[in-house]
């Protein structure tokens, strides 16, 4: 039974790193007129109310996007996507990755989103109404294997597990290698937490050992949100990273490093 709910963490500093890179990648890929496919294995509910009791309880959004929003000028695709979603849903919302991707999607682009948790899935269906996205209530790894290579063939998949199921750390490297064999042109973006106990390290070592193409690994550090909190940073491991993403990653690293 899944219990993780992203509403407690939406808009935190990990989301800022992940979502800024995601929006930049989608904007790069959108420069060519050809349509793309956007897939997510672990989509969440797509739209979060930052004044909800859950979001206020942790204060993670206030310490995250509340601080970091000023980093992004109005031309940054992350700012543009945020503005688009707030214009439609109100100033107090924060879009999840499917909401950001929908805001940047163009005519002919396609979306496949998997979310297994029944309530999160129902909320995602609501949030994505009118976007044309196909929302799957099934295991995201299975969805990806079934859909890939997608049509259109150019595209990106975000893999953003909560790592509630500890075996994810062991199974993800071979899943990504298999996905890359099935969909060799696809951009594969994995998010992972940087944890004080180093639980992510073996997964990263296994990924590095696979010799995947055009890899960009980007990690940022930040203070734990609460005393004793295990997460002290956020990472993205990207296969077939779009040209130019390295500059964005370096720029973000500077901003995170300059935080007190």
The least distance separating ligand SAM from the CB of residue 105, rounded to whole angstroms, comes to 15
**Residue of 15, 160, 197, 202 with catalytic role:** 160
Give the integer Cα–Cα distance in Å for 70 and 22.
18
Among 117, 150, 156, 222, binds ligand SAM (CB under 6 A): 117
Task: Output Rg (C-alpha) for the chain, integer angstroms.
Answer: 17
Task: Determine whether 160 is an active site residue.
Answer: yes
- Interface with ligand SAM (CB under 6 A), residue total 22
Segment holding 174, helix H or strand E: helix 168-182
Among 11, 35, 44, 173, binds ligand SAM (CB under 6 A): 44
Give the integer Cα–Cα distance in Å for 60 and 14.
10
Reply yes or no: is the peptide bond before residue 152 cis, omega within 30 of 0. Answer: yes
Give the integer Cα–Cα distance in Å for 5 and 3.
6
Place of tokens 């929908």: 102
- Residues numbered 11 to 30 that lie near ligand SAM (CB under 6 A) are 15, 18
Does 43 sit near ligand SAM (CB under 6 A)? yes
What tokens does 23 get? Answer: 């929006």
Nearer to ligand SAM, 6 or 110 (CB): 6
- State the pairing for strand pair 37-40/187-195: unpaired
Question: Among residues 250, 190, 257, which one has the least CA distance to residue 13?
Answer: 257
Nearer to ligand SAM, 38 or 256 (CB): 38
Among 52, 58, 84, 162, binds ligand SAM (CB under 6 A): 162
Give the integer Cα–Cα distance in Å for 6 and 1.
15
Count CB atoms within 10 A of the CB of residue 62: 14
Does 96 sit near ligand SAM (CB under 6 A)? yes
Does 109 sit near ligand SAM (CB under 6 A)? no
The least distance separating ligand SAM from the CB of residue 115, rounded to whole angstroms, comes to 5
Nearer to ligand SAM, 1 or 91 (CB): 1
Report the residue closest to ligand SAM, judged by CB: 96
Does 146 sit near ligand SAM (CB under 6 A)? no
Give the integer Cα–Cα distance in Å for 201 and 185.
27
Q: Could you list the residues that contact ligand SAM (CB under 6 A)? A: 2, 4, 6, 15, 18, 40-44, 96-97, 114-117, 120, 139-140, 160-162
For the annotated catalytic residues, the residue numbers are 160
């Amino acid at each position: 039974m899944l219990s993780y709910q992203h509403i407690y963490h939406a808009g935190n500093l990990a989301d800022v790193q992940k979502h800024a890179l995601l929006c930049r990648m989608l904007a790069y890929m959108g420069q060519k007129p050809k349509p793309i496919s956007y897939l997510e294995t672990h989509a969440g509910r797509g739209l979060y109310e930052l004044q909800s009791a859950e979001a206020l309880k942790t204060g993670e959004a206030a310490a995250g996007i509340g601080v970091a929003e000023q980093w992004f000028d109005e031309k940054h695709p992350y700012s543009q996507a945020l503005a688009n979603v707030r214009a439609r849903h109100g100033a107090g919302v924060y879009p999840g990755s499917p909401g950001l991707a929908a805001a940047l999607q163009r005519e002919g682009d396609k979306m496949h989103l998997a979310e297994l948790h029944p309530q999160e899935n129902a909320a995602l269906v609501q949030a994505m109404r009118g976007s044309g996205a196909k929302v799957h209530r099934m295991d995201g790894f299975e969805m990806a294997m079934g859909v890939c290579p997608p049509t259109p063939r150019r595209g990106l998949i975000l893999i953003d597990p909560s790592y509630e199921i500890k075996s994810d750390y062991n199974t993800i490297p071979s899943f990504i290698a298999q996905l890359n064999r099935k969909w060799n042109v696809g951009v594969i973006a994995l998010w992972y937490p940087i944890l004080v106990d180093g639980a992510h390290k073996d997964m990263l070592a296994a990924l590095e050992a696979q010799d995947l193409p055009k890899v960009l690994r980007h990690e940022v550090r930040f203070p734990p949100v609460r005393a004793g909190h295990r997460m002290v940073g956020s990472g993205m491991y990207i296969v077939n990273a779009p040209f130019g993403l390295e500059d964005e990653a370096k720029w973000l690293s500077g901003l995170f490093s300059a935080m007190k």
